[in-house]
């Protein structure tokens, strides 16, 4: 394809918290500073900057990217913002990738930030207007309702039980106990999850990720720069992204075909023909417990309706054959929207370098896949990484 190889050579992140004292700029700065320090680079070494951040309404700053520019190291550099809803965090490194793969730049800082605590009384308010203003909004839907419809359809199609879905919350919140930046790590049980409040049947409170403040940053480099900078570059082997129809009633909600399309694009580029065998570690997007399962299927890590069994059998556990969300995911680490997606890429970076500390998966993982999803349940963004 005439594209150059691109590696991730540094990563940094802030803690994910309910309400940060730091301004959005300051959060961006802390993550960016850490990412630069991790590969012993300075801002002078950076050719361009990509910022990913979700709606302006969260931070309460219109044209938020321009506001965040100096905290992301973007002053005086070629700087762009991208925004594809919840999929942003995995799209931002894709944009960074094509900046370098194209031959235009040798280094790129990729920064994602979200400060959802600014949004009052709750960031849900910003989501109310994503629905069609003539056919849907008059009914007063909120995000939980549509996820509940999707989850119910998924359960119905495959005969999946609530217990099987609650097991995802147990796994991910447990994994997050080992993440120093996590907001909601805890040891919990299926019983506890099912005893939590029903928000919109079948969605229970403990199956939903929290709202969070936080930032994550990566340093991307061309092969030549990467090999000079570190003995352990982590390559971006494949990227894919798609957008499905916004008429969400024309999709059968049981299966995320937009994830499959994006995954096929990324796998083709990465030479992955049997994802269930060739992928060692996965970070599917898990803002809701059922979503990790749904997305594992879209990523073709198992057959349709098979994901709950993999969780039940311990295959997706940190020490299992195919660890899924070893970071703790959005359910455990937290969900500052764009930053949460980039956290998944950072997790693969640390895991594939063997630097994930207490979260390190055993063996020597060679290939990882991370994915995010968003907009009106219609965007899929996928990155395949290799040690």
Partner 1 sequence: MGLIQKSSSNQELRHYRGNIPVGNLYTAGIAGDRFFVDLRDKGRLLGTRCPSCERTFVPARHFCEECFTRLEEYVPVPSSGTVHSLTAAHVDLDGKPLDPPHVLAFITFEGCAGGLVHRLGGAPGQSFRIGDRVEMVLKDRKKRTGGINDIEHFRPAKGSRR
Residues that bind partner 1 (CB under 8 A): 19-23, 25-26, 29, 32-33, 36, 42-43, 57, 60, 70-71, 73, 75, 117-121, 123, 125-126, 128-129, 133-134, 137-138
DSSP string, 179-216: -TT-SS-----HHHHHHSPEEETTEEGGGBPPP-EEEE
Closest CA to 27 of 61, 1, 78: 61
> What is the chain's Cα-based Rg?
19
Q: Give the pairing type, strands 213-222 and 6-13.
A: antiparallel
Q: Alpha-carbon distance 261 to 276, whole Å?
A: 16
Dihedral sign (CA 43, 16, 93, 125)? negative
205: tokens are: 């409170």
For partner 1, which is the closer residue by CB, 136 or 276?
136
Cα→Cα distances 56→64, 66, 127, 157, Å: 6, 11, 12, 37
Residues 382/263, Cβ–Cβ less than 8 Å: yes
Residues 245/20, Cβ–Cβ less than 8 Å: no
Residues 287/208, Cβ–Cβ less than 8 Å: yes
DSSP string, 54-96: --HHHHT-TTHHHHHGGGGT-TTS-EEEE-BTBTHHHHHHHHH
For partner 1, which is the closer residue by CB, 76 or 303?
76
- Rounded least distance, CB 279 to partner 1, Å: 36
Residues 182/329, Cβ–Cβ less than 8 Å: no
- Rounded least distance, CB 43 to partner 1, Å: 5
For partner 1, which is the closer residue by CB, 92 or 217?
217
Over the range 283-295, which residues count as b (16 or more CB within 10 Å of their CB) and which as e? bbbbbbbbbbbbb
Closest CA to 207 of 286, 128, 310: 286
> What burial class does residue 337 get, using C-beta atoms within 10 Å of its C-beta: 0-12 exposed, 13-18 middle, 19+ buried?
buried
**What 3-state class would DSSP assign to 274?**
coil
248: tokens are: 């969400």
- Rounded least distance, CB 28 to partner 1, Å: 9
- Rounded least distance, CB 35 to partner 1, Å: 11
Residues 323/314, Cβ–Cβ less than 8 Å: no
- Rounded least distance, CB 94 to partner 1, Å: 25
């Amino acid at each position: 394809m005439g594209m150059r190889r691109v590696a991730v050579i540094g990563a940094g992140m802030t803690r994910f918290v309910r309400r940060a004292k730091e301004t959005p700029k300051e959060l961006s700065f802390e993550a960016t500073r850490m990412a630069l320090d991790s590969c012993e680079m300075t801002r002078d070494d950076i050719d361009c900057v990509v910022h990913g951040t979700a709606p302006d309404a969260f931070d309460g700053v219109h044209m938020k990217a321009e506001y965040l520019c100096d905290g992301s190291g973007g002053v005086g550099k070629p700087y762009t913002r991208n925004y594809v809803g919840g999929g942003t965090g995995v799209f931002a490194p894709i944009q960074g990738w094509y900046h370098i793969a194209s031959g235009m730049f040798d280094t790129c800082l990729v920064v994602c930030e979200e400060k959802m605590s600014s949004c009052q009384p709750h960031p849900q308010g910003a989501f109310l207007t994503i629905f069609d203003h003539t056919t849907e909004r008059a009914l007063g839907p909120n995000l939980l309702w549509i996820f509940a419809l999707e989850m119910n359809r998924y359960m119905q199609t495959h005969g999946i039980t609530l217990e099987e879905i609650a097991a995802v919350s147990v796994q991910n919140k447990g994994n997050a106990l080992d993440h120093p930046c996590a907001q909601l790590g805890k040891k919990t049980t299926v019983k506890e999850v099912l005893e939590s409040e029903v928000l919109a049947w079948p969605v229970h409170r403990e199956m939903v990720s929290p709202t969070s403040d936080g930032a994550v940053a990566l340093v991307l480099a061309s092969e030549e720069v990467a090999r000079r900078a570190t003995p352990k570059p982590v390559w971006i082997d494949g990227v894919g992204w798609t957008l499905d129809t916004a008429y969400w009633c024309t999709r059968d909600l049981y299966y995320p075909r937009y994830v499959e399309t994006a995954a096929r694009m990324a796998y083709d580029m990465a030479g992955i023909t049997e994802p269930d065998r060739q992928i060692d570690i996965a970070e599917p997007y898990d803002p809701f417990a059922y979503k990790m399962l749904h997305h594992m299927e879209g990523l073709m890590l198992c057959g349709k309706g098979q994901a709950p069994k993999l969780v039940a059998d311990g295959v997706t556990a940190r020490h299992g054959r195919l660890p899924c969300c070893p970071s703790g995911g959005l359910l455990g680490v937290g969900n500052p929207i764009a930053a949460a997606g980039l956290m998944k890429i950072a997790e693969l970076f640390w895991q594939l370098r063997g630097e994930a500390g207490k979260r390190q998966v055993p063996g020597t993982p060679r290939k990882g896949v991370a994915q995010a999803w968003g907009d009106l349940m219609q965007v899929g963004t996928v990155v395949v990484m290799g040690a």
